[in-house]
Structure 1
């Protein structure tokens, strides 16, 4: 019998797939690794996933959003990070950079596919579908088939 401290630990994150009226998606260029990704981050212990995605999107971009629905659950198999992707709509605000985002842009779906790692772009393409939510695994960059 294993002790609680021996059990695997997972981190839970949220990703905001923010879609504007033109069908473009809010994206940040991460300050730490230069990758283009949808905004998001670690869920705090005292907040719901919807509260967390609103906070994370605002902290990283200055855009206030309202969550619509869960897009999918995505697990980074290397790091043990489970991410809840949530489609959101803009409430107010103008996108700007932050400590975590060296650049912020509204991307077309074609730009999402060209600029984002597959493991992040799939969250956006999944958000545009109507047959989810999805459950997918990845290695931090690429989706792992299965």
Structure 2
């Protein structure tokens, strides 16, 4: 589902004016399938149809929807993988962004780490938002955007050492 109906209806009234939207970034990790003692987790990624970039699954929360439910829903819709929220990684403002159709938006992004219900589940392209999906070892993932590389590193760090994890997203260092 590319644009939620509530946004389509709002855009009919406000055009391309700036909207403030709740969003999620779902970073799904699983134990690697390799036998290396230096193995790192695998991360579930989608290759976006709009810009060709590999990223974690992202999406917009429906009105009244909890972020952890939105993250699991988006992962299922976009990859066919059932996943459950395991940890909150951070919350912060992103944008403003001008999309290719001229719509402007800023997002309150909730980044969550999720774990697949079935770690052996093979992802499939679930909608027209992506052209490819897959599991990748974090050490060789095709993600190039520094913000996503940092978010995935945070997810791996939180997974490995939850008691020592400190979120970066949304926290300004003073």
**TM-score of the superposed pair, with normalisation by structure 1:** 0.80
The secondary structure found in structure 1 opposite 2:51 is coil
In terms of mean alpha carbon deviation, does 86-95 or 35-44 score higher?
Answer: 86-95
Which string of whole-angstrom CA distances, capped at 9 and with x for unpartnered residues, describes residues 75-112 of structure 1? 32333212111101111343001321101111222233
For the pair 1:123 / 2:157, whether they are aligned, the reply is: no
Match of 2:129 in 1: 100
Q: CA RMSD in A?
A: 2.3
Rate the CA distance shift 1:115–1:9 in 2: closer, same or farther, 3 A. closer
Gaps of 5+ in 1: 1-7, 138-144
Q: 2:21 aligns with which of 5, 11, 29?
A: 11
Please say if residues 29 and 35 of structure 1, whose CA atoms lie closer than 8 Å, have aligned partners that are also in contact: yes
The secondary structure found in structure 1 opposite 2:157 is coil
**TM-score of the superposed pair, with normalisation by structure 2:** 0.68
Distance 2:133 2:71 in 1: 17
In terms of mean alpha carbon deviation, does 32-41 or 90-99 score higher?
Answer: 90-99
Match of 2:87 in 1: 69
Q: How many residues align?
A: 132
How far did residue 74 of structure 1 move? Answer: 3.7
Gaps of 5+ in 2: 1-17, 33-40, 98-105, 159-164
Distance 1:116 1:61 in 2: 20
Match of 1:90 in 2: 116
Larger Cα-atom Rg: 2
For the pair 1:111 / 2:140, whether they are aligned, the reply is: yes
Q: 2:167 aligns with which of 133, 137, 140?
A: 133
How far did residue 129 of structure 1 move? Answer: 1.8
